[in-house]
Amino acid sequence: MTQVTPPSSPTLRREWLIIALLVLSVLINYVDRSNLAIAAPLLQPQLGFSSLQMGALLSAFSWTYALFQIFGISGYLADRFPVGYVFLFGYLIWSVATLATGLLSGFTAIFAARLMLGAGESIAYPCYSRVFAQVPQHHRGRANSFIDAGSKLGPSLGALIGGALMVHFGWRALFFVLGAGGLLWVIPWLAVMPRERVVLAADQPAASTSELLSLRSAWGTFLGHFCGNYFFYFLMAWLPTYLVKEARLPVLTMSRMVSGAFFLLAISTVLTGWFSDHLIARGLTPTRVRKSIVAIGLLFASMLGFIAFVPGTSRAALIILFVATIGFGGYTSNHWAISQTLAGPSMAGRWTGMQNGIANLSGIIGPWLAGAIIQRSGSLRIAFLITGIVAFCGALCWAFVVGKVEPVRWSSQDAPL
């Protein structure tokens, strides 16, 4: 089997700096995509937006984020050009979009800024996966869990910082500080970023998209990830509003509760990522370990639906929330490792790009649907129930639709070079 030729080996110190900056970038990525939800309790009444309009704004990001990946634009860029430059370009776009949001007041203008944010952030995961597809199997869980922990610490820190900024300076300061502060990341990235293109040995041809779409396991990862993302986007978009309006918490207390929930999620991700690698290093198969952790994690996450049956002000609602987020952390530690193993280095960018694109359609549907529900009923209870059901369906997809977790032998690998 033709192997991927790795890029020129940098110094160990540079490698660790690149990894650290990638983890920091995903943290900033998720701070920026969650900031509108944090600002919503103050922004919505000040600008006079309805719950339906707010739901549309919260889902706007996912239109460009999902479609750029579904149509292969982001994956193609990650596979075709030097990853360091592709990532830098996308990062600058999303940081400027965050900064600009603080200057805007109209529905259409903010919607356009969120579309711009989604376009910039769409390159992130194809770039991460292009790198991590070459990480050894017994390290891949940890490598992905660090990135995924950053994605959960982002909303956690965003809630803490956002709550403090809004209480003292208003919601616009949140976007100014995060957008301008995030641009500082560019300075160290320019110094150490990988400038070479990762290429296949002897210019091996990659598999076709139609071949990818013919695989049952591919659709299992697409649909399973969609269901998992539905859970995450619902929490990120509407949990702050739920805690303020239905749990009747002050804004500062709300920000701490949201931060705590996502912090628990991040800790769960890191611990289960380490545990999965430990089990594989001891001889258990990736199929048994990674599929079990992913499916069981989403089963626990589906408990979120029980919030529909308890009062929002009760302690039971908070316990259910925290148990569900811990379970979701187990899921997120391993789902990317499954896809990267199946795809292999030659298809990692396109497989994960298309998977992430389809999965992020849930970021369009989930926030908008919840907004429509609260507009009609005045409560998020039904939205919590739907989210729990969707998470349960995701567990079934990962357990029974995805096959063995081992590299696909693409037809292009049998072609003469």
pLDDT in tens, 189-224: 998 887 765 544 444 456 777 889 999 999 999 999
Q: How confident is the model at residue 143 (pLDDT cuts 50, 70, 90)?
A: low
Q: What tokens does 404 get?
A: 């063995």
The predicted structure's pLDDT at residue 131:
66
pLDDT exceeds 90 at position 158: no
Q: What tokens does 32 get?
A: 């920026």
**CB within 8 A of 135, min separation 6: which ones?**
143
Q: How confident is the model at residue 12 (pLDDT cuts 50, 70, 90)?
A: low
The predicted structure's pLDDT at residue 18:
77
Pairwise CA distance, residues 209 & 217, whole Å: 14
pLDDT exceeds 90 at position 14: no
Which ranges constitute the DSSP H helices of 193-250?
209-213, 216-245
What's phi and psi for 66, nearest 5 deg? -75, -50
Pairwise CA distance, residues 263 & 168, whole Å: 24
pLDDT in tens, 258-275: 888 888 888 898 889 889
pLDDT in tens, 323-341: 999 999 999 888 888 998 8
Longest Cα–Cα distance in the chain:
66
The predicted structure's pLDDT at residue 122:
92
pTM: 0.76
User: Any idea which residue has 């391993």 for tokens?
Assistant: 334
- Whether 35 contacts 157, CB under 8 Å: no
The predicted structure's pLDDT at residue 392:
98
Q: How confident is the model at residue 5 (pLDDT cuts 50, 70, 90)?
A: very low
Pairwise CA distance, residues 47 & 113, whole Å: 16
Calculate helix-pair angle for 107-121, 12-47, nearest 10 degrees: 160
**DSSP letters for 49-61:** --HHHHHHHHHHH
Nearest to 276 by CA among 287, 263, 262: 287
Q: Which DSSP state fits 184?
A: G
Phi-psi group of 202: left, alpha or beta (phi > 0 → left; psi -120 to 50 → alpha; rest → beta): left
- Whether 129 contacts 335, CB under 8 Å: no
pLDDT in tens, 105-137: 999 999 999 999 999 999 888 888 776 665 555
The predicted structure's pLDDT at residue 350:
79
Q: How confident is the model at residue 188 (pLDDT cuts 50, 70, 90)?
A: very high
The count of C-alpha atoms lying within 13 angstroms of the C-alpha of 150, restricted to the half-sphere facing its C-beta, is 20
**CB within 8 A of 77, min separation 6: which ones?**
86, 123, 126
- Whether 147 contacts 334, CB under 8 Å: no
Q: Tell me the one-letter amino acid at 215.
A: L
Percent of the chain with pLDDT over 90: 36
Provide the 10 A C-beta neighbour count for residue 39: 24
**CB within 8 A of 16, min separation 6: which ones?**
none
Distance spanning both ends of the chain, measured CA to CA: 12
DSSP-assigned beta bridge partners for residue 4:
200
The predicted structure's pLDDT at residue 110:
94
Nearest to 349 by CA among 134, 200, 130, 147: 130
Flag the least confident range among 3-17, 259-273, 379-393, 398-412.
3-17
Provide the 10 A C-beta neighbour count for residue 325: 25
